[in-house]
Amino acid sequence: MDASSLVALAVGALYLAALACIYRILLTYRTSQGALAWIIGLLGLPYLAVPLFVLIGRYRFGGYIKARRGLDQALTDLLDRFERQATSIPAPGSDRFRDELQVLCKLSRLPFTDGNRCTLLRDGEATFEALFEAMENARHYILLEFYIVRSDRVGQRIKAILERKLAQGVDVWFLYDNIGSVWLPRRYLRELARAGARVAAFDNGNIRRRRLQINFRNHRKLLVCDGQVGFVGGINLGDEYLGTAMDQEPLRDTHCRIEGPAVAGLQLAWLEDWNWASDTLPTLDWSASRHTPGDQEVLILPTGPADPWETCTLFFLNCINNARHRVWIASPYFVPDFQVMNALQLAALRGVDVRILIPETSDNALVKLAAYSHLVQACQAGIGIYRYQRGFMHQKVVLVDDRYAAVGTANLDNRSMRLNFEIMAVNTDPDFVRDVHRMLEGDLAHCQLMTERDYQDRSILFRLACRAARLAAPLL
């Protein structure tokens, strides 16, 4: 066979692959704009678009879905039991029934549970001290799941505590994300495993289920000790939250410590992720969920690309659409899609105090540029965009009226809405909501309110860069 015939075969195979990708797009596409963009790329530049689609083109995490459908019966029973569990939110028809909270229960497949005690943890020092203390006090097991783990001072402290607890007979399960923790030395993991910890990377999954799906990331950050105390929020395991460099402000972030029945929701989310990553189901203590150390109503809301709906998007839309007086959202990444942006505009137009807190300093230049592109339409509708001036703000917090607040890992961007596995803790306790309100007021004191002029007075090249960055929003 001559060279021209080989080239023809290669081109034919490439276009067959492009047609196979288009077939999948037509069966599964989410928006017509996205589908058309992929189809044009696949037909016009198949040698670029085909490998790109294989790597990042899918929006459903097929391997995880398959694993979920084939779950061990024990985990299936647990999920069903918690889904059927009576919620502390009253049934429809009662005076106290709140539709938007009932929707959140259906999205999470978990109920609001009463009897919890939640403590707001502001920034790295307070969070790490609480994490260290909980792990030191663990008697039976420790479950960790973090997007980023570093082998710096914080990472080594975590490792030393885990090795010490393993020597005391405490079981440790350590789950991390391969992409987020790409710089974590393999030696760190090997030493933990040699000490007796069970270690797994979320991205790999069980070899029988493995798929090339690098666009999906486990962005959750949680810790559970003995099924009695749990933590969730935006903080990863790294020194950047302590501001160890002389010229570096500590990252501004928020975490939450939870005791009570809601810890079972964190434990369930961890268990499902661990089952995907390792194809094993540890035996955990669920009796602790019956203890009621407080009186707060809390819902654990895991979201991700294996859900039947776009759960994270619906969570934000539910919060924004049901806000009566105020909706404040703190997120390091503000790249909303048209649904969320329209909901924010409508909320502002009906008189709701809509404030979005984002950082002045960003770790992603494209995200920062894309956020500027929304500034004019936000300001014209009355949405307040506030840029935090004291270093990089990484917290993910939602405040709705004086009725409930949420702390967790979800950002206002496409990646959180559709591609990442995220988790939020929603709390209706008035004291907790007031604490969140005061915390965000403190952050606003260090923010600068943006105006239309901040965009319109910039150079044409800057504005073009902002609009171009916005085109890349589905990938950011």
The one catalytic residue among 159, 255, 368, 394? 394
Q: Is 106 a catalytic residue?
A: no
The one catalytic residue among 219, 255, 368, 374? 219
* Other C-beta atoms lying within 10 Å of the C-beta of residue 116: 27
Q: Is 226 a catalytic residue?
A: yes
Looking at residue 120, its amino acid is L
Q: Is 291 a catalytic residue?
A: no
Rounded distance, CA 476 to CA 469, Å?
9
The one catalytic residue among 159, 165, 221, 255? 221
Q: Is 394 a catalytic residue?
A: yes
The one catalytic residue among 396, 413, 429, 443? 396
The one catalytic residue among 177, 203, 226, 443? 226
Please identify every residue annotated as catalytic. 219, 221, 226, 394, 396, 401
